Amino acid sequence: MSAAEWGDVEPYFDDAVVFVEWPEAGAGAIPPPRVAVRLLHRGGDLRTIEVEDLGTSDQTA
């Protein structure tokens, strides 16, 4: 991801929850992930959603 491309998407990261499907394409340019979300197919119409806190939040409580 070039600096110009990052400039186009950076506003979407401000005060928002953003899902990036291919984060490796923005490695070094986009902020580090705060959570990992996994969608698991359980057969038929069933899905499981797993959310893992990665402990990389830069916000303080």
For 32-55, write each residue's pLDDT tens digit: 888 888 999 999 999 999 999 988
With b for 16 or more beta-carbon neighbours within 10 A and e for fewer, the 14-52 pattern comes to eeeeeeeeeeeeeeeebeeeeeeeeeeeeeeeeeeeeee
11 within domain boundaries: yes
60 within domain boundaries: no
Cα angle at 55 between 50 and 61, to 5 degrees? 115
**Number of domains, the chain:** 1
Do the beta carbons of residue 1 and residue 29 sit within 8 Å? yes
**Between 58 and 49, whose confidence is greater?**
49
**Between 11 and 37, whose confidence is greater?**
37
For 46, the domain range is: 3-53
59 within domain boundaries: no
61 within domain boundaries: no
